[in-house]
Amino acid sequence: MRMRVFYFFVVMMPSLGLTAQNMDDVEITVEQVRADYYVLKGAGGNIGLLVSDGESLMIDAQFAPLSARLLDAIDHISPELPSYLVNTHWHGDHTGGNGNFADAGIKIVAQEEVRTRLSEKQFIRAFSREVPPSPENYWPTVTFADSMTLTVGSETVVLVHPTDAGHTDGDGIIYCVQNDVLHMGDLYFQGKYPYVDLSTGGSVDGLIAGVQRALLLVGEDTRIVPGHGKVTGGAALREYVEVLQDCRDIVSAMMKQGMTLEQIKEAKPLSEYDAQYGTGFIKPDAWIDTIYTDLSR
Ligand SMILES: [Zn+2]
């Protein structure tokens, strides 16, 4: 048990960048995905930026030490300050800059559980780590339960809560209708096994169901922005959810045969996927651990 916690800690700390160390070296890069849509990368979750007729909306905030550099990069794309910052979920690598952006005058929008999670103390089991409540200026001031539509310039922006228990319990996906871009947040770890935060309301089956619901919005040309990784089309997202489903079914069948967690790990049952999907910050054993723990509840 002790080993497992240690393993998670070592593997995941650098990737999620839970500390503000070395942020001086982080370079902000900008990729134009569509005429009016950009993806900004630095450290933490991918940031989306929609610019339409002099108005703009940003998705996710990365870490607080990066806010000034992110605002500078946004200013080079559009001189107007974004009207909204939408959080895809509560994790610090997506909301760490909330306070700075709110202080700059940007309205924070999210699914209502994001406000609850940010305003109360949290415990992340995978890191054995307590997260104190965030200051009040981090909290979303506009929240939705199931869905909400915003108009930004001439763009229709649809916010959807596709599952009550996915990556967390407060996931939101954002679809920009005219530009045909879908921002998935951490429901989509592009080409990798996902991190499912079981300790703040996530679940493997719920994540799969959420991705399947998101796919209903996806057409032939839709560009899909993951929480982490590269922008893809629908085929890659479809393959991702099929892999997750297959992994779930494989581990579930072994559990039904009465195998223990250690026995399942030793059998390396997901080896056909491990070479690609197991190279992110969720390694094959951690992914089996997640499925096993979740299905045992
Ligand atoms: Zn996350």
Pairwise CA distance, residues 190 & 56, whole Å:
26
Please, which residues bridge with residue 131 across strands? Answer: 122
Pairing state of beta strands 84-86 and 55-59? parallel
At residue 126 the predicted structure's pLDDT band, cuts being 50, 70 and 90, is confident
Prediction pTM value? 0.92
The CATH number of the structural domain formed by 2-234 is: 3.60.15.10
Write out pLDDT tens, residues 82-106: 999 999 999 999 999 999 999 999 9
Section 55-83 average pLDDT = 97
Which distant-in-sequence residues (6+ apart) come within 8 Å of 269 by Cβ?
250, 251, 254, 288
> Ligand 1 centroid to 20 CA: how many Å?
17
> Ligand 1 centroid to 172 CA: how many Å?
11
> Ligand 1 centroid to 248 CA: how many Å?
20
Section 117-140 average pLDDT = 95
The pLDDT assigned to 12 comes to: 39
Q: Is pLDDT above 60 for 213?
A: yes
> Ligand 1 centroid to 161 CA: how many Å?
15
For 60: left if phi > 0, alpha if psi spans -120 to 50, otherwise beta; the answer is left
Write out pLDDT tens, residues 235-250: 999 999 999 999 999 9
The pLDDT assigned to 10 comes to: 33
Mean pLDDT of the chain: 93
Please, which residues bridge with residue 143 across strands? Answer: 110
The pLDDT assigned to 173 comes to: 98
Write out pLDDT tens, residues 3-55: 333 333 333 333 444 455 679 999 999 999 999 999 999 999 999 999 999 99
Residue located via tokens 């993951």: 226
> Ligand 1 centroid to 181 CA: how many Å?
20
Q: Is pLDDT above 80 for 64?
A: yes
Residue 92 contacts residue 18 (beta carbons within 8 Å): yes
> Ligand 1 centroid to 113 CA: how many Å?
14
Strands of the sheet with 181-189, listed across from one edge: 147-152, 155-160, 173-176, 181-189, 223-228
> Ligand 1 centroid to 254 CA: how many Å?
28
> Ligand 1 centroid to 167 CA: how many Å?
7
Which distant-in-sequence residues (6+ apart) come within 8 Å of 91 by Cβ?
16, 45, 168, 186, 197
Q: Is pLDDT above 60 for 223?
A: yes
> Ligand 1 centroid to 88 CA: how many Å?
8
The pLDDT assigned to 197 comes to: 97
Write out pLDDT tens, residues 273-290: 999 999 998 999 999 999
DSSP letters of 239-270? HHHHHHHHHHHHHHHHHHTT--HHHHHHH-TT
At residue 217 the predicted structure's pLDDT band, cuts being 50, 70 and 90, is very high
| The two three-digit tokens of residue 146, written as one number | 């199931």
Domain ranges of the chain: 2-234
The pLDDT assigned to 127 comes to: 86
Section 256-278 average pLDDT = 98
The pLDDT assigned to 9 comes to: 35
